[in-house]
């Protein structure tokens, strides 16, 4: 009886979880550096316009990969500025990662592709995963 209950529990967990959700993370660390260093850094969430990070370069920031909504991948606008230099913007976008694309073939299949992973940020990677900008003197 215990053996069959254990087997049933394993089957349920396999078919109610997506591969990206099991092995991925819902946030990602991104390294930001600049020449010259000590540039002001501001990161804005493109969905709601809220500032989600402020700091100075060099730094490492951790950003959420999903809004928590169905297929809700995040995008961000990063602005670097420093007195005497032209400000620069770069966009961080999301894309489906390999765990989502190929990891759901077995065992989760359609349940992983369309029911579990789309709600979890682990199905995405943010790009670029490192930023190194050279600011232009004004």
Tokens encoding 2: 């215990």
Q: List the domain range (segments joined by +) for residue 129.
A: 2-134
Residues 120, 68: Cα–Cα separation, whole Å: 6
Q: At a CB cut-off of 8 Å and minimum separation 6, what does 48 contact?
A: none
Phi, psi of 70 (to 5 degrees): -55, 120
Q: Give the up-direction half-sphere exposure of residue 29: CA atoms within 13 A in the CB hemisphere.
A: 3
Helices (H), the chain: 2-15, 19-23, 98-103, 110-111
Residue that wins the pLDDT comparison between 15 and 45: 45
Report if pTM > 0.75.
Answer: no
Q: Per-residue pLDDT tens for 56-107?
A: 999 999 999 887 766 678 999 999 999 999 999 999 998 887 666 555 555 5
Residue that wins the pLDDT comparison between 63 and 9: 63
């Amino acid at each position: 009886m215990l053996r069959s209950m254990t087997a049933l529990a394993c089957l349920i967990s396999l078919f109610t979880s997506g591969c990206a959700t099991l092995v991925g993370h819902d946030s990602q660390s991104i390294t930001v550096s600049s020449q010259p260093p000590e540039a002001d850094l501001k990161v804005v969430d493109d969905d709601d316009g809220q500032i989600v990070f402020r700091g100075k370069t060099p730094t490492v920031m951790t950003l959420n990969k999903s809004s928590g909504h169905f297929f809700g991948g995040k995008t961000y606008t990063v602005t670097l500025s420093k007195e005497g230099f032209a400000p620069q913007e770069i966009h961080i976008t999301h894309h489906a990662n390999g765990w989502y694309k190929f990891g759901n073939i077995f065992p989760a299949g359609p349940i992983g592709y369309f029911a579990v992973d789309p709600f979890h940020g682990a199905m995405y990677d943010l790009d670029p995963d490192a930023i190194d900008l050279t600011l232009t003197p004004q």
